[in-house]
Amino acid sequence: MSTTRQHSTLIAHDKALEAAGTAIRLVMRVPAPLKSIAEQAIRAAASVPANLAEGWGRIGKERQRRLKPAPTVRGRGSL
């Protein structure tokens, strides 16, 4: 029996795929002088569903460790 979960059950993953597709379609209309920015937007849009799928697939202690908030410096927030 496999212990991995299917990311297709994660609603956020489906929404991120839709948003990535929309972003890519919009970015394809960008004029040539701005292509480097457009390429960065495509990479960013594609990374969201990939990161969600990777995080959703984690199990056990590794998943629990990833879900804990990052430690903060005394007296400061996370930024």
Whole-number Å distance between alpha carbons of 12 and 18: 10
Judge contact between 7 and 53, C-beta under 8 A: yes
In this predicted structure, what is the pLDDT of residue 51? 86
Residue 16 has φ and ψ, to the nearest 5°, of -65, -35
Tens digits of residue pLDDT in 7-37: 556 788 889 999 999 988 988 898 989 989 8
Quick check: pTM over 0.75? no
Q: Please spell the DSSP secondary structure of 24-40, one letter per residue.
A: HHHHTTS-GGGHHHHHH
Q: Where are the domains of the chain?
A: 9-64
